[in-house]
Amino acid sequence: MRIRSWTTRLAIPLVTVGLIAAGCSSDEEAAPEGAVAALGTTNDINPKDVSELRDGGNLRLAIGALPQNWNALHNDGNDADTGALLRPVMPRAFKTNAAAELSVNTNYFTDVALTGTEPQQVTYTINPKAIWSDGTPITWEDIKSQANALSGADKSFLIANNTGFDRVEKVERGVDDRQAVITFKKHYADWRGQFAGNTFLYPKSVTATPEAFNKSQLDGLTLSSGPFIIQSVDRAQGRVVLGRNPKWWGDTPKLDTFTFSVLDSAALLPALQNNEIDAVGLASRDELKTARNTNGIAIRRAPGNSWSHLTFNGAPGSILADQGVRVAISKAIDRQGIASAIQNGLVENPKPLNNHIFLQGQDGYQDNSLGFDPAAAAKELDALGWKLNGEVREKDGRKLEIRDIMYNQDVWVQMAQIIQQNLAQIGVKLTIETKSGTGFFTDVIAPGNFDVGQWTWVGDPFPLGSLIQIYGYNPNDLQGNYGRIGSPELNDLIERTISELDPKKAIELANQIDRKVFEEGHSLPLMQSPGNVAVRANLANYGAAGLASYDYTKIGFLK
């Protein structure tokens, strides 16, 4: 599943990480040698044995806003900040290493296995020690209840993503209450991601009814299950504290607490310099230079599974409802120019991201884009009846003016200004509008109050699991397709892809989907994160995690 982030400081577990750098730096300092945005197989977290860490301590981090809903399965809870708060406190079935290789998270499950293919069947065997924070056991009924809520059968559950549960026929009790057997009515390729990556397992009390699913977690988590628990939420101060879970059955954490404070983007680096937070993503070349010159700070770097993009609003009646207009505008945006201007100084050879589904360095990545061709874009708009009248095109008395909505951060605005200049060359006027982080998705993007929207997608090791979420179109089931763009043909191709259990064939089909997404003018990927993070030099087992998941019990400060 993909989660959203309004900031260019892209979220990987527990810290927002710089995606792009400002293009108007005061110098032309070269990028670090070997710096690329392509995914790799290593990370940079200052790995240390726990014997070298002191007991206790408080890791201070920043978020952009408090959760709109602490249920990350809900469409209002599907964002990076909420995910950062939940990862140390909620169950997931798999963990990953820096090469994105999966292994069962044995804190919660002793085994997760594909136990049948015709029909497809997956068996989850729950660790007999695994309990919720009130002491009740995690059982097969929690899995069954979540499967039912995410199935899409009852549209009153306002889900962020089906995560394949629309393809499940039934969930049954296994040998005992600690085993669940999931039987599918249709194949699902990314079955490992149903309770992993960006998707957490919730207790049945949260997923049993639409009322509980939609509203029970508005003010905070009612139950959790991890090495940490939510200790306090101070809405007035914009602060969340996680403390050790006294009922935790696994390794004892080294840290006593995590403290998350709500800070504006411009306040992050000063807060690091003033010793108010311990880690921050670096969103510009100047910030990288400043962080390097700050005493006690180390720069850690590993590209992560996150990227910037823009989405078009193709809803009926919108100015971009015509597929041809969206495609023409897509061709007029110089994404290579944006990458060169924005990422210069962070990577050696900046390149745009040319695939919606796979990232550079990931198996399956290929360039399926339509290319930069402003001359063709102008001709296509002419053919569609949008004629130049002065500096802006018109059709039937309506000017081709579009609103570009983004979080109020300098780097987003700089990208938008480049796009604004590109589109002016073909007679399209783009107006830049910035918004605060609070309610950005809930109040602006989800209702469709934009013509073009810029935000970040944060992925996980299960890219096929987000195909329906973002690119499938059902007018009665929004999920993550905020542009309301799609087609029966694309839906059918998505169905074929997620049904394909052969990984190579699934990749081939996924790239057909990607080309179709470009051809529909659905959205444009821009750049993926180079993953620069400034952290306290004495902080261990934390920093630029790359594709790896953290072991929150092992994060701590050196003795």
Q: What are phi and psi of 536, to 5 degrees?
A: -60, 130
Burial class (CB in 10 A: 0-12, 13-18, 19+), 177: middle
Q: Centre a 10 Å sphere on the Cβ of residue 538 and count the other Cβ atoms it contains.
A: 16
Query: Mean pLDDT, the chain, as a whole number?
Result: 91
CA-based R_g, the chain, Å: 23
Average pLDDT over residues 18-25: 28
315 near 447, Cβ under 8 Å?
Answer: no
Residue 346 has a pLDDT of 79
181 near 160, Cβ under 8 Å?
Answer: no
Query: If you count them, how many residues does the chain have?
Result: 559
Could you tell me if residue 482 is left (phi over 0), alpha (psi between -120 and 50 degrees) or otherwise beta? alpha
Closest CA to 496 of 113, 42, 188: 188
Residue 4 has a pLDDT of 61
Average pLDDT over residues 326-337: 97
CA separation for the pair 325, 368 (Å, rounded)? 19
The pTM assigned to this predicted structure is: 0.84
> Could you tell me the pLDDT band of residue 410, with boundaries at 50, 70 and 90?
confident
**Among 24-38, 238-252, 264-278, which stretch is predicted with the lowest mean pLDDT?**
24-38
CA angle 369, 347, 551 (to 5 degrees): 95
Residue 344 has a pLDDT of 84
464 near 506, Cβ under 8 Å?
Answer: yes
Average pLDDT over residues 247-255: 98
pLDDT tens, position by position, 182-192: 999 999 999 99
pLDDT tens, position by position, 452-502: 999 988 878 888 888 988 999 988 887 889 999 999 999 999 999 999 989
311 near 482, Cβ under 8 Å?
Answer: yes
> Could you tell me the pLDDT band of residue 293, with boundaries at 50, 70 and 90?
very high
CA separation for the pair 137, 249 (Å, rounded)? 12
188 or 19, which is more confident: 188
Burial class (CB in 10 A: 0-12, 13-18, 19+), 393: buried
CA separation for the pair 393, 384 (Å, rounded)? 11
Report which residue type is found at 169.
E
3-state SS of the chain: helix, strand, coil percent to 5? Answer: 25, 25, 50
Question: Residue 350 corresponds to which tokens in the numbers above?
Answer: 């900046």
Question: Residue 24 corresponds to which tokens in the numbers above?
Answer: 């108007």
Residue 67 has a pLDDT of 94
pLDDT tens, position by position, 414-440: 999 999 999 999 999 999 999 988 888
Residue 20 has a pLDDT of 27
Q: Is the pLDDT of residue 25 over 60?
A: no
Beta-sheet strands, E only, within 85-161: 94-96, 102-104, 109-117, 120-126
CA distances from 506 to 180, 415, 493 (A): 27, 33, 11
SS3 state at 188: coil
Residue 10 has a pLDDT of 40
Dihedral sign (CA 172, 175, 176, 177): negative
Residue 180 has a pLDDT of 98
124 or 38, which is more confident: 124
Q: Is the pLDDT of residue 513 over 60?
A: yes
Q: Is the pLDDT of residue 543 over 70?
A: yes
Q: What is the DSSP letter of 464?
A: G
Question: Residue 186 corresponds to which tokens in the numbers above?
Answer: 């249709």
Q: In 344-484, where does DSSP find H-type helix?
A: 374-383, 410-424, 467-471
- How far from the centroid of its chain's Cα atoms is residue 98's Cα? 17
> Could you tell me the pLDDT band of residue 27, with boundaries at 50, 70 and 90?
very low
pLDDT tens, position by position, 70-98: 999 999 998 889 999 999 999 999 999 88
Closest CA to 507 of 383, 376, 363: 363
Average pLDDT over residues 102-107: 96
Bridge partners, 327 (sequence order): none
Report which residue type is found at 343.
Q
